[in-house]
Amino acid sequence: VHGDGLLVDTVLDEVVRACLEHGGRVWRSPTWDVEVDLVLALRDAGPLANATAEATRLGVTPAADGAAHGRLADEEFLLTRTDGVTVVLADTPAGLLYGLFHTVRLGAAAFDDDRAPERHRPALHLRALDHWDNVEVHPVSGQVERGYAGGSIFWRDGAARDLTRVREYRRLLAAVGINAVTVNNVNVHGEAARLLTDRLDDVVAIAEVLRPYGIRVHLAVSFAAPVVLGGLPTADPLDERVRAWWADATHRVYRRIPDFGGFLVKADSEGQPGPFTYGRDHADGANLLAEALAPHGGVVRWRTFVYNHHQDWRDRSTDRARAAYDHFVPLDGRFRTNVILQVKFGPVDFQVREPVSPLIAAMPATRLAVEIQATQEYTGQQRHACYLAPCWSEVLRFEPWGPDDRTVADVVAGKPASRRTEERRTVPGGRLVRPEGGFLGPAFAPDGGLLGPAGGAGPGGGVAGPGNRPGGGPGGSAGHRAGHGGGLVAVANVGDDPFWTGHPLAQANLYAVGRLAWDPRLTADALLDEWIDLTFPPSTVDDPELVRRTVHAVLDDSWRTYERYTAPLGVGFMVRPGHHYGPDVDGYEYTPWGTYHFADRDGVGVDRTPATGTGFTGQYPQPWSDAYESLERCPDELLLFFHHVPYGHVLHSGSTVVQHIYDTHFAGVEQVRRMRAQWRELAGRIDPAWYERVRERLDEQLRSAVEWRDQVNTYFFRKSGVPDAQGRRIY
Ligand code: GCW
């Protein structure tokens, strides 16, 4: 190991740890004539003869030349095999650490002599996990809101925990590429607000543990903090005292945590305080915190999950799906460069099937992050096996402007609009868009400065950017750059459970979050292979190929299986109110939450077309706006999200809606039965504790799937009176 720095020490520790376990010796900065198998080196740390030649072949001028363009990006690394030695090169310690974990992933393959040189850099700068962990046990949401893996690994009963477990957690996270963690719930209750001020010591302690692994701490803060913590009479974002309070509080945080990542805010949402109280909008709110963070290089992640949760179910014109777009799109161009708007992947709320949020295509002058939910609130609560990488991968690969244009992953990487998008673009509502993609409006910059120059794709296809500083950096002014993108954020699925995630197979979801954020083009299938190799190294299991086949058989299609036995055709929210586990078709139908399916004796689904419904389809750019609006072209799996149709409506599949509901619910249960049987083949072949935990959960999954099937089928049979074409039992 060659080089200096905190993260280089970490690399050394990791290699020492590996050698203690598996054999081998380690040298710190040896002379180059020591014979080794693996070199991990910062390029300015020594004479690198052959390796440098390899780097040059890859188009990277050695850093020693001083040529800025030849430097690797902050987290980037090279891997080459030269003269029988595997060499990992980076220009920054973080790059070296990721290079080490890449080598670990490759295993023996990293030492193949015919291995071609590789260059890796993350597509997304911000790869974050948000823990919805409460500092105190909350009467409704418990220690972890929507947590299904035991208690919090950070907090217990109002106090910070012993961080021993976090020392392992940081390795796990860095190994999958996560570089930011929010340590408290976005619903900031009680004591948690004080993490920002007099309980900062707790955050400092966590930051110190995470730092050596390149992971920055973020804090969820209350917009009302100046009132509840500072004793001010107001939290109005335009009030000078409020601005001074935030500047001071933020400054104090950075004095203790110089690499602090930033704030996460849920404002004016589900009862959390926000700028609306003061007649201000969300740009005023977000910019207030951004201004406080800018001198220190931090970002504010501001969630767009803002909607009316006191809706009248009788009112069919209000549409929760519209809310984020309606609130935020008019503000495009007004956010400071260190504001990231964090957008839930779908327009409603992490359902098993939703279209991609139209907001992602509608804020060209704003940095956007996409938020996904690893914690399985609506996908079986880690009692059901549900591998979500196929869902997330669909989201990240989705092309909001149609084929051969930018994907969602490109947008959150900050890639600017293509020429094609620029030329053909008019947006819903007929507003004209300027060539760079910014709306003609108050933010229009005649010099074309809406999208910054830093957003271009780097030579490796990833995004060249400012490195591990997602923030606008010092002085980040009210310029308008979507350039650095906002990254990928997942709500964490980890707790103090011995398997980390409650359901051991849910670890694959955590793994996929980090890896997809690093490279959104990775397939769900390939990621599962990686995870299987790392989780069940051949030496630890009886029949590695059987293990691989079985885990694939259980997980590959599990997301679609879950969809089959739960909510059909994009309809969503047929869950038990409150805890959200198990079926209750009408559970939310007459509530204020805005999540309705409108089933009656004739049909089901939400009419979101402009002609006869809420007009939501008009929030999409072409070609999706037309596709979703059209009954003929709307994809089957989203039909009931966009349309209210009779039960006899014929799908593209050839089936009617009601027959599809019956068929998929019967099929889903049979699939779970198969998953359960397949898993049993691993009895005695893997760690028994592991085996048992999964077995027990698959039993529950089957019980629950049967319950879902019978309630949903019975409900629609009773509503429609249409019998099952195959005469199966419906109650
Ligand atoms: O889906 C809902 C959850 C809430 C959560 C909210 C959010 C943290 O039921 O528990 O609150 O989303 O995303 O803010």
pLDDT digits (tens, 9 = 90+) for 237-247: 999 999 999 99
CA-nearest residue for atom 13, ligand 1, is 305
187 lines ligand 1 (CB under 6 A): yes
41 and 189 within one domain: no
Decide if 625 is inside a domain: no
Residue 53 pLDDT: 56
* Per-residue model confidence (pLDDT) at position 71: 87
The response to whether residue 186 sits with its C-beta less than 6 Å from ligand 1 reads yes
CATH of the domain at 577: 3.90.1330.10
Q: What is the pTM of this model?
A: 0.91
Tokens of 685: 């072949």
In the structure, what pLDDT confidence band is assigned to residue 372 with cuts at 50, 70 and 90? very high
What pLDDT shows up at residue 470?
32
> Residue 218 pairs with which residues in a beta bridge?
182, 262
DSSP state of 378: T
Is residue 471 scored above 70 in pLDDT? no
322 and 244 share one domain: yes
- pLDDT tens digits, 662-695: 999 999 999 999 999 999 999 999 999 999 999 9
Comparison of pLDDT for 314 and 431, the residue scoring more:
314
Ligand 1 site-directed mutation target among 138, 270, 372, most atoms within 8 Å of CB: 270
Instruction: Just list the catalytic residues.
Output: 270, 349, 377
CATH of the domain at 475: 3.20.20.80
The ipTM estimated for the assembled molecules is: 0.99
**Does residue 481 register a pLDDT over 70?**
no
**In this structure, are 239 and 374 located in the same domain?**
yes
The Å distance, Cα 307 to ligand 1 centre, comes to 12
pLDDT at position 478: 33
Q: Are residues 495 and 549 in the same domain?
A: no
Residue nearest to ligand 1 atom 3, measured at CA: 146
d(CA 566, CA 589) in angstroms, rounded, equals: 16
Q: pLDDT value at position 704?
A: 98
What would the pLDDT profile of 593-647 be if each residue is shown by its tens digit? Answer: 999 999 999 999 999 999 999 999 999 999 999 999 999 999 999 999 999 999 9
- Evaluate whether residue 223 is within a structural domain: yes
Please tell me whether residues 392 and 472 are part of one structural domain: yes
What is the structure's pLDDT at 701? 99
| Shared-domain flag, residues 132 and 266 | yes
Residue 297 shares a structural domain with residue 420: yes
- Alpha helix ranges (H) inside 179-275: 200-210, 225-228, 240-256
Same domain, 135 and 91: no
In a domain, 500, yes or no: yes
Co-location of 418 and 446 in the same domain? yes
Q: Based on the domain organization, do 91 and 224 belong to the same domain?
A: no
Rounded Cα distance, 41 and 77, in Å: 10
The Å distance, Cα 614 to ligand 1 centre, comes to: 24
CA-350 nearest atom, ligand 1: 1
Whether the predicted pLDDT of 465 surpasses 60 = no
Tell me whether the omega of the peptide bond preceding residue 623 falls within 30 degrees of 0, making it cis: yes
Answer with the one of 78, 95, 120 that is the final residue of a domain: 120
CA of 545 to the centre of ligand 1 (A): 40
First vs last C-alpha separation in the chain? 67
Task: Identify whether residues 61 and 166 lie together within a single domain.
Answer: no
Average pLDDT, the chain: 90
619 within a domain of the structure (yes/no)? no
305 lines ligand 1 (CB under 6 A): yes
Where among 88, 120, 152 does a domain terminate?
Answer: 120
pLDDT grade for 352, boundaries at 50, 70 and 90: very high
As for how many domains the chain has, the answer is 3
Percent of the chain with pLDDT over 90: 84
Contact 225, 235 (CB under 8 A): yes
Question: How confident is the model at residue 208, as a pLDDT?
Answer: 98
- Kindly tell me if the per-residue pLDDT of 445 is higher than 80: no
Greater pLDDT, 8 or 457: 8
pLDDT single digits (tens) 143-171 = 999 999 999 999 999 999 999 999 999 99
| Whole-Å CA distances, 282 to 141, 229, 245, 478, 495 | 26, 21, 19, 15, 32
**418 Rama class: left (phi>0) / alpha (psi -120 to 50) / beta:** beta
Main-chain dihedrals φ then ψ at residue 487, nearest 5 degrees = 95, -165
Higher pLDDT, 431 or 397: 397
What confidence tens digit (pLDDT) does each residue in 537-589 have? 988 898 999 999 999 999 999 999 999 999 999 999 999 999 999 999 999 99
Q: What is the CATH number of the domain that holds 73?
A: 3.30.379.10
Q: Is residue 621 part of a domain?
A: no
Kindly report which listed range (225-229, 363-367, 416-420, 605-609) carries the lowest average pLDDT score.
Answer: 416-420
Phi, psi of 195 (to 5 degrees): -60, -30
Report strand pairing: 367-373 vs 339-344. parallel
Q: Looking at the domain assignment, is residue 291 inside a domain? A: yes
Q: Are residues 301 and 362 in the same domain?
A: yes
pLDDT attached to residue 518: 98
Mean per-residue pLDDT, 647-653? 98
**Exposed, middle or buried, 165 (CB in 10 Å: 0-12/13-18/19+)?**
middle
Residue 273 Cα to ligand 1 middle (Å)? 15
Residue 43's pLDDT is 87
Best residue among 140, 146, 264 to mutate for probing ligand 1, ranked by most atoms within 8 Å of CB: 146
Domain that holds residue 110: 6-120
CA of 580 to the centre of ligand 1 (A): 11
Residue 364, CA distances (Å) to 269, 294, 421, 527, 532 in order:
24, 21, 11, 31, 39
Nearest CA to ligand 1 atom 1: 349
Say if 496 falls within a structural domain. yes
Residue 250 lies in a domain: yes
Which atom of ligand 1 lies nearest, measured to the CA of 491?
13
